[in-house]
Structure 1
Amino acid sequence: MSRSITIAKAGLPPGPKGTLIGGNAAQMGPRRVDFFLDLAQTYGPVASFRVGRWRVFLVSDPELIQQVLVTDARHYIKHFGARAFKPILGNGLVTSEGDFWLSQRRMMQPSFLKALVLSYAPIMAELTTAMLAEWSPGKAVDLEFEFSGLTSAIALKTLFGLDDHGDRAKVDASLIETFDSLTARVDAPIRLPLWMPTLTNLRLRRAIANVKALVDGFIAQKRSRPLANDLLSTMIMAQREDGSRMSDQQLRDEAMTLYLAGYETTALTLTWSWYLLSQHPEAERRLADEWRRVLGGRSPNAEDLTALPYTSAVINEAMRLYPPVYAIGREAMTELELGGYRVKRGYTILMSQWVSHRDPKYFPKPEQFLPERWLDGLAARLPKFAYYPFGGGQRLCIGSHFATMEAMIVLATVGQKYKFTLAPDAVIDIKPQITMPPKFGMPATLELR
């Protein structure tokens, strides 16, 4: 879109009044997704609010989202919340910008070619079976904990070729501390520079240093051995057009980004899928019938996935209701127009999957879990940005096919052997961070199918 535009409307889009200093921060609160949904339903496809000094437009119309993420993408960068995670993600695909990002994306794309991704299916099934061997009927489990451990193991095996449970525990412990601290920094009204030696900053810097040291060790270990069929090997071999390769620091940034994208989001998809299935026994029965008919008790392989349409529909519906990443933000680098309003340089545009995926215009009965809605070609009929659990545009998640395959394989492998009864005293709520984990875990009891 040309920057020579006529502004159709003066002033800001409609939105709630806030306080002089904090803006709408207090109204947003810990369940910010409810605030976003109420904002869109009350004020329409372009609404406005303020968090401290940041002016934010919440955009929920698919065409306007496409304008931000595709048409005008070159005029935006990641917003302040995403940039806050650069201390741990460095210049990985999630946080880098411009020509450097494009060069990295092109270098890494061959690592996610269909044939290579499909080759990881046996690893996913094998590690899932190993997890099941440690389960027993009647055992009380936290589904989020169990699936996070599994998808972390899958990510470390497919990314680094690692089987060491001790390494995984060290990485995960440091990452949890790092992300809790960084999320608190994003939400804090005043953010002290990381170089200041406060107790919180020192703890955060130590956790970041621990993670980086571990990943650097993985990279050094990989370079000292023959390269194999894992993502890090393909990244080490990748070349730019001028023949240059990634430095160890860049490898670390990309590896950290892929590891996080490769385990937490899929674990949450599985956790919320089983929560929803535990509340909808008819859907679970239909799912079990599909597995019985197609798989007959064996773990699925890559070739089985097209024969499991209801499994795919359940995952699509779970990601609709509980998108692992619930919002995407962009910051304008120049003055733009959006929905007839002027977007000043520095304004943030927020697009929330939690909001878009609940639009009754595209999803009748939007709060209901209805996997059947995906069985008659809905995905092909929807506007591109009515449903976008993996983002969109040039920055569509590079591992979306990997994640979808993993979720289907794990769901079918686990579900043929076990079903889950939610703990009767379980309190189920969400804890919106950069992702959407359950606030108090997901306690359940294992029951043989």
Structure 2
Amino acid sequence: MAVLQTLHKGLPPGPRGTLVGGNLSQIGPRRVDFFLELARTYGPIASFRAGRWRLFLVSDPSLIQQVLVTDARSYVKHFGVRTFKPVLGNGLLTSEGEFWLAQRRLLQPPFLKAQVLSYAPVMAELAEAMLAKWTPGKSVNIEFEFSALTSAIALKTLFGLDDHGDRERIDSSLRLTFALLTVRLDALFQLPLWLPTAANFRLRRAIADVNAVIDGFIAQKMSRPLGSDLLSTMIAAQREDGTRMTPQQLRDEAMTLYLAGHETTALTLTWSWYLLSQNPEAEKTLVEEWRRVLNGRAAQASDLPSLPYTSAVINESMRLYPPAYVIGREATADLELGGYRVKKGYTILMSQWVNHRDPKYFPEPERFRPERWLDGLAARLPKFAYYPFGGGQRLCIGVHFALMEAAIVLATVGQKYKFTLDADAVIDIMPQITMPPRYGMPATLARR
């Protein structure tokens, strides 16, 4: 009772909304702008409503740590993540409790740092294979090119499979699925998926396409001797009671890991090249580092400690354009946070887009300044001032994989080619479960 007596009465400050929709009309398609304005106007803990959902946006690093670490057992993934369950299933991203913990332990070994290092040659080899298909003057969509590459890398390293063309089908279906689910998430009322509406029909068809490709990956793997890749590990894994993963569990984890294994890194590379194209001095410094260390050859894992500016560019890209831009948790009991009562069922949002633009930790926060990372900034920051891969026990399982892949691909590709954005290109963000460019990233290739 002593703790409860110290709580503020009522809700944290926030914008007024309408009786039915709350603040839905204010959130809009660029919801990150709403989050940023909310934090800057109302402070480290702000309140708003989206339809029937009461949400707190928390931007103080110590409060974020309380949610993701200290009180983690009293929260589950929020309604936004659950909206994407029709495509992600009950994989690592969406599952909870003991089931999640058992799956995490099962899937962890292939992502340990020592094992991840063994994937580096494949990453460089596939990057060079992509380069062999490029020609100077060719018009490309940067996002498409790097999505294709990181998809091929994920299939080879995680699933032990070569890309035979199904990748384009699944990526197209995934993009449509996420767009339709985002519209569904933003709706005031969500109609049951079984209703025969045009939107539900399109969504069910897109999900069926995704499932067919993933099922094909699994069937292809099961038709041959199992190897040491992650998919083989999942198929062969046996629990203490002698049971194995069901076909549905295999599908859910394969879908989640395929998405996490390529989409976020592709976006990091896409936004990195966009930022470099707008900051020629930073690109010049980067190229000089590659020439000094690599002298034209593909990057290897052993080179990465000698490429600090490359790492700085990747860190700065993920600061300004974090592939995952918001984390949400729903309270499973009445709690306290920042002096306010968090009732059971309330949702706490924590936005990397907001925290990564805090001028207290990042002077000139909207400027692309990779050099800010060269003097030990990462070690000086509070734990949740910069968290592109989340945090706590649910820290992204593929963090080492993603960082190594981004550095190897950036250096291997960047030594050979540069990108010039089309003069009429319109660059904007499209916040979904990740944050791709709304209209792609059209550019022209030029030899370095």
> What is the TM-score with the length of structure 2 in the denominator?
0.97
Amino acid at match of 2:401: F
Q: Is the deviation greater in 41-50 or in 243-252?
A: 243-252
CA distance in 2, matches of 1:96, 1:270: 28
5 Å-filtered alignment, 1:46-445, equals 46-445=45-444
- Kindly indicate whether the alpha-carbon contact (under 8 Å) linking 2:22 and 2:50 is maintained by their aligned counterparts in 1: yes
CA distance in 2, matches of 1:177, 1:368: 32
Shift of 1:243: 4.7
Give the corresponding residue for 1:448: 447
Q: RMSD of the alignment, in Å? A: 1.4
**Structure 2 unmatched runs, 5+:** none
Shift of 1:431: 1.0
Structure 1 residues 331-367: Cα deviation after superposition (integer angstroms, max 9, x where no partner): 1111000000000111110000000001111111111
CA distance in 2, matches of 1:92, 1:3: 40
Are residues 106 and 4 of structure 1, via their aligned partners in 2, closer, same or farther at CA, if it must alter by over 3 Å?
A: farther
- Kindly indicate whether the alpha-carbon contact (under 8 Å) linking 1:7 and 1:337 is maintained by their aligned counterparts in 2: no
Partner of 1:165: helix, strand, or coil? coil
Structure 1 residues 44-88: Cα deviation after superposition (integer angstroms, max 9, x where no partner): 000011111111100000000000001111111111110011111
Shift of 1:322: 0.4
Amino acid at match of 1:428: I
Q: Is the deviation greater in 33-42 or in 197-206?
A: 197-206
CA distance in 2, matches of 1:229, 1:129: 24
Structure 1 residues 105-151: Cα deviation after superposition (integer angstroms, max 9, x where no partner): 11111121222211111111111111111111111111111111111
Structure 1 residues 249-285: Cα deviation after superposition (integer angstroms, max 9, x where no partner): 1111111001111111111100100011011111111
Shift of 1:182: 1.2
Shift of 1:18: 0.9
> What is the TM-score with the length of structure 1 in the denominator?
0.97
Structure 1 residues 388-438: Cα deviation after superposition (integer angstroms, max 9, x where no partner): 000000000000110111100110011000111111111111111111111
Amino acid at match of 2:296: G
Shift of 1:4: 6.2
CA distance in 2, matches of 1:37, 1:418: 35
CA distance in 2, matches of 1:370, 1:283: 8
Shift of 1:31: 1.0
- Kindly indicate whether the alpha-carbon contact (under 8 Å) linking 2:78 and 2:330 is maintained by their aligned counterparts in 1: yes
- Kindly indicate whether the alpha-carbon contact (under 8 Å) linking 1:178 and 1:208 is maintained by their aligned counterparts in 2: yes
Structure 1 residues 265-315: Cα deviation after superposition (integer angstroms, max 9, x where no partner): 111100100011011111111100110111110111111111111100000
- Kindly indicate whether the alpha-carbon contact (under 8 Å) linking 1:58 and 1:349 is maintained by their aligned counterparts in 2: yes
Amino acid at match of 2:366: E
Shift of 1:213: 2.4
Amino acid at match of 1:227: L
CA distance in 1, matches of 2:84, 2:217: 22
Q: How many residues get paired?
A: 448
**Structure 1 unmatched runs, 5+:** none
Partner of 1:354: helix, strand, or coil? helix
CA distance in 1, matches of 2:232, 2:115: 12
Shift of 1:225: 1.3
CA distance in 1, matches of 2:332, 2:151: 36
CA distance in 2, matches of 1:59, 1:350: 6
Partner of 2:108: helix, strand, or coil? helix
Partner of 1:342: helix, strand, or coil? strand
Partner of 2:49: helix, strand, or coil? strand
Shift of 1:219: 1.4
Shift of 1:30: 0.9
CA distance in 2, matches of 1:136, 1:220: 36
Percent sequence identity over matched residues?
A: 77
CA distance in 2, matches of 1:354, 1:329: 13
